[in-house]
């Protein structure tokens, strides 16, 4: 990870490279800021710059210096495979497994996840990636034991042994937990050791650790850099959508991406919903079969999101038709004629049955039911209910 690949944060990056170049590297540092600001990316790029054997310094441009990206150390950092770089992050048992898990257990998955999210991870995204959505991860005592063991080793290739602990607030805090063992390492670090903590909340890190680390506060990404990054990753998005996503993000890349995809997802759901309802009013089986095929090509989570959208849309239609109430933000399906006429199809005679049918379908999708059967059965139910207004 080079500094040039980080979104914005140029003032802070220049401070960090100046600290390393001047030889004022603290052995324990805390990168404190929201994950969407790039805290982990900064920590990894910092470690790479420290290890680079051919640092580049620039007379022009917004960066004063960066790692070369070509030396053996940089190439290994690019794959997160440097023998002197050790990453720790929250983990959890997946499924019904009772095996002891550590960061090493999921290391290949974590590397792939970071590549997919551009080194801007979130705890929720990571837990979902390994299939542990319902669990709260932790950096446990097994990680701490491995950490202590590696501390006793000398650097292999770089000048430092480097430990990056992402989501440090997830460390266990009991007497024998990871937090206590880390405290001992920070108090008496071996020579040529660099410990980089990455956290969103300093309040959840023990005060004894906070008092012994150099805090580096990572602020919001500037709007211009954030907008340019969104154009690179989401080239088909309109300028207006990108502007809205930037405005809603509070300087967070992950929040901006979520907002942008939320807008695109809503438009996709609108189109599918309007097409579906018109089809069911006439119950054209050939068209319905093709529509179900299209929906089933979506991932499970997208199918679930569509069903939730449709359920909420029907509730909003009922509020308009039965009580003349319009939900905040208005009722808009992206089709003026449909938006004006369809709400009258949802009345007190069918709204409860609509709600139950969609709840049942969502339950089925959550439990990996066969999508084609689920959507075809739901279609027949909805078509029948539309006639009971």
Q: Are residues 156 and 285 in the same domain?
A: no
Q: Are residues 186 and 286 in the same domain?
A: no
Global pTM value: 0.71
Ramachandran quadrant class, 119 (left: phi over 0; alpha: psi -120 to 50; beta: rest): left
Q: Are residues 212 and 345 in the same domain?
A: no
Q: Are residues 131 and 16 in the same domain?
A: yes
Q: Are residues 319 and 214 in the same domain?
A: no
Q: Are residues 176 and 291 in the same domain?
A: no
Q: Are residues 185 and 282 in the same domain?
A: no
Q: Residue 285: is it exposed, middle or buried by C-beta count within 10 angstroms (0-12/13-18/19+)? A: exposed
List the domain range (segments joined by +) for residue 357: 264-386
Q: Write out pLDDT tens, residues 96-114.
A: 655 788 899 999 999 999 9
Q: Are residues 374 and 315 in the same domain?
A: yes
Q: How far is CA 72 from CA 52, 151, 271, in A?
A: 8, 23, 51
Point out the domain boundary residue: 219, 250, 275: 219
Q: Which of 230, 228, 254 minimizes the C-alpha distance to 117? A: 254
pLDDT at 71: 95
Find residue 32's DSSP bridge partners: 199, 217
Which of helix, strand or coil describes residue 358?
helix
Percent of the chain with pLDDT over 70: 93
Q: Write out pLDDT tens, residues 129-143.
A: 888 876 778 888 888
Q: Are residues 164 and 283 in the same domain?
A: no
In a domain, 231, yes or no: no
C-beta atoms surrounding 306 within 10 Å: 21
The 8-class DSSP code of residue 222 comes to P
In a domain, 256, yes or no: no
Which of helix, strand or coil describes residue 272?
helix
Q: Are residues 270 and 198 in the same domain?
A: no
What's the total number of domains in the chain?
2
What is the mean predicted confidence (pLDDT) over 22-34?
93
Point out the domain boundary residue: 219, 236, 252: 219
Percent of the chain with pLDDT over 90: 46
């Amino acid at each position: 990870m080079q500094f040039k690949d980080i979104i914005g944060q140029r003032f802070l990056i220049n401070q960090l490279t100046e600290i390393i170049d001047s030889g004022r590297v603290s052995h324990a540092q805390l990168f404190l800021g929201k994950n969407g600001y790039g805290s982990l990316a900064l920590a990894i790029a910092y470690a790479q710059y420290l290890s680079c054997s051919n640092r580049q310094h620039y007379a022009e441009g917004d960066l004063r210096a960066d790692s070369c990206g070509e030396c053996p150390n940089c190439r290994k950092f690019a794959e997160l495979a440097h023998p002197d770089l050790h990453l720790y992050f929250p983990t959890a048992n997946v499924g019904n497994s009772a095996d002891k898990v550590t960061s090493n257990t999921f290391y290949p998955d974590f590397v792939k996840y970071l590549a997919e999210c551009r080194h801007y991870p979130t705890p929720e995204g990571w837990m979902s990636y390994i299939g542990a959505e319902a669990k709260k991860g932790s950096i446990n005592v097994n990680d701490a034991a491995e950490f202590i063991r590696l501390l006793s080793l000398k650097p292999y290739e770089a000048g430092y042994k480097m430990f990056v602990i992402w989501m440090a607030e997830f460390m266990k805090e009991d007497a024998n937990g990871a937090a206590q063992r880390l405290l001992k390492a920070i108090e008496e670090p071996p020579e040529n050791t660099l410990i980089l903590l990455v956290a969103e909340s300093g309040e959840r890190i023990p005060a004894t650790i906070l008092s012994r680390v150099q805090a580096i506060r990572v602020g919001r990404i500037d709007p211009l850099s954030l907008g340019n990054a969104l154009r690179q990753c989401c080239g088909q998005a309109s300028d207006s959508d990108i502007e809205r996503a930037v405005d809603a993000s509070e300087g967070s890349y992950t929040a901006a991406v979520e907002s942008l995809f939320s807008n695109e997802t809503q438009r996709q759901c609108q189109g599918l919903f309007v097409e579906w309802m018109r089809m069911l009013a006439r119950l054209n089986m050939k068209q319905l079969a093709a529509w179900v095929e299209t929906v089933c090509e979506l991932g499970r989570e997208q199918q679930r999101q569509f069903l939730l959208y449709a359920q909420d849309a029907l509730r909003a239609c009922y509020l308009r038709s039965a009580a003349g109430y319009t939900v905040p933000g208005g009722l808009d399906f992206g089709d003026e004629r449909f938006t004006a006429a369809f709400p009258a199809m949802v009345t007190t005679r069918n709204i409860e049955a609509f709600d139950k049918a969609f709840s049942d379908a969502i339950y089925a999708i959550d439990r990996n039911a066969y999508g084609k059967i689920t959507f075809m059965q739901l279609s027949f139910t909805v078509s029948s209910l539309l006639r009971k207004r």
